[in-house]
């Protein structure tokens, strides 16, 4: 099997002057999934053992500080009795294309730079369970909210990337 011939590279970040987030070389798998074939994972992904409420998670090292700071802020400053109700799970790393369509660019989840909050109850549509206050905290700590996208995706938050 000619493996290398199928390798695709996503130059997105570099073209936009975004350094320090890495480059993924990959081959396409069925259903919009990918297999990463370079050293991206080893160089940029870290496992955090104590993410509040959700435990062990892999994420891009650039996302560790803002995500942990935001979650600790929610834990200590927002005063919810049971925040677990709203943040029971965070889906972060997932090597795939946007909408699982191979024609689309790679998802920020492939880079470990995005997270979905309680996906099962925040599917695209008119209703979601994430309080506005929590959305605002994530925004204040440097995330873009999918609820503001042209095609709203309320479960989704992704790190606002910085140039240079």
Residues forming beta bridges with residue 82, ordered by sequence position:
none
Q: Which of residues 108-147 bind Zn ion (CB under 5 A)?
A: 114, 116
Distance CA 106, CA 108 (A): 7
| Nearest residue to Zn ion, scored by beta-carbon proximity | 156
Question: What would the x/- binding string for Zn ion be over residues 30 to 59, using CB under 5 A?
Answer: ------------------------------
Distance CA 117, CA 128 (A): 10
Buried b (16+ CB within 10 A) or exposed e, 132-149: eebbebbeebbbbbbbee
Question: What would the x/- binding string for Zn ion be over residues 62 to 101, using CB under 5 A?
Answer: ----------------------------------------
Q: What are phi and psi of 139, to 5 degrees?
A: -60, -45
Distance CA 41, CA 4 (A): 18
CB of 51 to Zn ion, least distance (A): 16
Residues forming beta bridges with residue 20, ordered by sequence position:
none
Q: Which residue, 63 or 114, has its beta carbon nearer to Zn ion?
A: 114
Among 87, 156, 159, 161, binds Zn ion (CB under 5 A): 156
Q: Which residue, 7 or 58, has its beta carbon nearer to Zn ion?
A: 58
- Name the segment binding Zn ion (CB under 5 A); options: 25-33, 58-66, 80-88, 150-158: 150-158
Binding site for Zn ion (CB under 5 A): 114, 116, 156
């Amino acid at each position: 099997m000619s493996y290398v011939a199928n390798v695709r590279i996503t130059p997105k970040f570099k073209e936009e002057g975004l350094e320090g987030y890495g480059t993924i070389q990959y081959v396409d798998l069925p259903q919009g999934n990918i297999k990463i074939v370079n050293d991206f994972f080893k160089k940029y992904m870290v496992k955090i053992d104590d993410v509040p409420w959700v435990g062990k998670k892999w994420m891009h090292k650039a996302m560790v500080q803002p995500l942990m700071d935001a979650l600790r802020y929610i834990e200590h400053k927002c005063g919810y009795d049971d925040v677990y109700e709203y943040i029971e799970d965070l889906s972060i790393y997932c090597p795939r294309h946007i909408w699982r369509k191979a024609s689309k660019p790679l998802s920020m989840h492939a880079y470990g730079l995005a997270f979905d909050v309680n996906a099962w109850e925040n599917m695209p549509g008119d209703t979601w369970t994430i309080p506005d206050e929590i959305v605002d905290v994530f925004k204040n700590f440097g995330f873009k909210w999918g609820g503001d996208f042209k095609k709203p995706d309320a479960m989704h938050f992704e790190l606002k990337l910085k140039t240079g």
